Chains A and B, each alone.
Chain A
Amino acid sequence: MAWLPVLIKACYFLAALLFILGLKRMSSPRSARGGIVWAGVGMLVAVLATFALPDLHNRGLILAAVLIGVSAAWWSGRRVAMTDMPQMVALYNGMGGGAAAAIGAAELFSYAGNAVTLLDGGQFTASGADTPGTAQLVLAVLGALIGSVSFSGSLIAFAKLQGWLDRRFVFPGQRVINLLVLAAAVVLGGMIASGHLSMPLIVAFFGLALLFGLMMTLPIGGADMPVVISLYNAFTGLAVAFEGFVLQNEAMIIAGTVVGAAGTLLTQLMAKAMNRSIGNVLFGSFGAAGGAAQEIAGSQKPIEASDAAVMMAYAERVVIVPGYGMAVAQAQHKVWEFAKLLIERGVKVKFAIHPVAGRMPGHMNVLLAEAGVPYDLIADMDDINPEFPQTDVALVIGANDVVNPLAKTDPSSPIYGMPILDVADARQVIVVKRGKGTGFAGIENALFYADNARMLYGDGQAAASELVAALKTLES
């Protein structure tokens, strides 16, 4: 049966190749759909090959766990609404981190068990396979630490985005305490890695690692969650790679490392789009400093939907700026219907998307694509900003912080320095907004008080429906 191990190794190689090629295809819109299928085939090949491993026991248990896990995740992933995708990614990512931590735990506990039996037998022989090397121990501990943090952290991120935890937990000395928890986990990890394989030590180590993930994520506000989820995604990748080294599994090493690197870069891109460093997201208490916010002169001027519709119907260029508020109101279909009516009248319509609109970069693109908005009508911030001075009407729907001019003018503002969409440069700005409250970051928006801004109060869905109705009466 010498061919079987070779065949299994070949399968892992094929899987690693398919993952890389799949990810490559996913990075271009044209081939993206094929990419996930390639990666999926890779996963199937790797899992089937693992089942064929000759020294695998508990096959019944494995099969049962796989079937339960797959069907539960498949069912939940199928029925979740498009707007809830970010938290589902957080949830599944947390599961991956948890699995990596579980592998680390299983390895460490089995080493600990073996060490005990060896000591009981009175003779401690360094018998190859069962005695782990230092490198192996260090990697197992590191993978377990990172995986645990990713697990508990992602679950908190999930709970926050799901709306189960809408408060930020901040208390004095929090940073110091978090650091102490991390330091304690690292010290215990170091002791384990240097050969102190005792049960209570390992249990305490996992407890501290999980606690740190929890405490690290709790003070971070909802607006920063995309960066955090992306970071934990990279963490899980790294944890998988480390545990892959421990298990000598090539598919895990390659896939984990690739995701770890790709996820790190993606996290940087996101943080950069918000003009903040990753360290600032994790440790800076965003908006906590209740400093004297700049008083804004002027008042918010309301407008009726019918007037807004007329204004846009006779405009030459209209730019629609959607934000998370549109997604929450599920208004993307109505908004696109409205845009189509405008296009039929000969108005040039574009959608402008800020890099961090929604809860994840590209989140808004996904929602607009779901509504059927073609690519070429969607513009990035850098492309659309020079066009605002030639724009007759900018329609802001459910976006707030990403169009706030204070980011440019008020150095004391927490969002100061974040690049924004310059909608105020348009001749008229219409802001669809639910009420007079502040945005996600809790900051007043100077745009709403600008002379050329008009407020159309109402839920995104209702406002868009009114606009469509108003436009239709105009035509008949």
Chain B
Amino acid sequence: MLDGFLALYVFMLAAFTGYEIIARVPVILHTPLMSGSNFIHGIVLVGAMIALGHAQTPFEMTIGFIGVLLGAGNAAGGYVVTERMLEMFKTSKPSAGKEAK
């Protein structure tokens, strides 16, 4: 269990981590990176699974089910889209050497 201040410290340090990672990123990667971070908050799926796993009434189950559905969509969609964007960077790499002479 995270008590109040420990939670605050974790929050602060994680926020700095995120800020620092992006601070030095080239413009060329902004879109893939936005998409990549969009995938990473797909971890919300885990929370939705827990919420559905603890749901008791049909009403709570419905909400939980929708949550898992949306969370799964965030994670899977985010992954596919990011992967497709980054795939292009791979194919352009060898041709860069060829064309530039």
Contacts and interface: CB of A to CB of B under 8 A. Distances in A.
Interface of A: 15, 19-20, 22-24, 26-29, 32-33, 35-36, 39-40, 43, 46-47, 50-51, 53, 55-59, 61-62, 65-74, 76-78, 80, 82, 85-86, 88-89, 91-93, 95-96, 98-100, 102-103, 105-107, 109-110, 113, 135, 229-230, 233, 236-237, 239-241, 243-245, 247-249, 251-266, 269-270, 340, 343, 353, 355, 360-363, 365-366, 369-370, 372-378, 380
Interface residues on B, range: 35 or more
Contacts of B81: 77, 80, 85, 88-89, 92
A248 B1 contact: yes
B36 A99 contact: no
Nearest to A67: B72
Nearest to A40: B79
Contact of B22 (A55, A80, A113, A262): A262
Contacts of B2: 245, 248, 253
B23 A265 contact: yes
A177 B16 CA distance: 35
Contacts of A135: 4
Contacts of B50: 50, 53, 56, 103, 247, 249
A250 to B, nearest CB: 8
Nearest to A86: B31
Given A106-B63, A258-B21, A375-B96, 4 more contacts: A23-B33, A58-B61, A109-B59, A233-B34
A55 B79 CA distance: 29
A76 B77 contact: yes
Contacts of B71: 69, 95-96, 99
Given A50-B49, A365-B28, A65 B65 contact: yes
Contact of B44 (A39, A243, A355, A372): A243
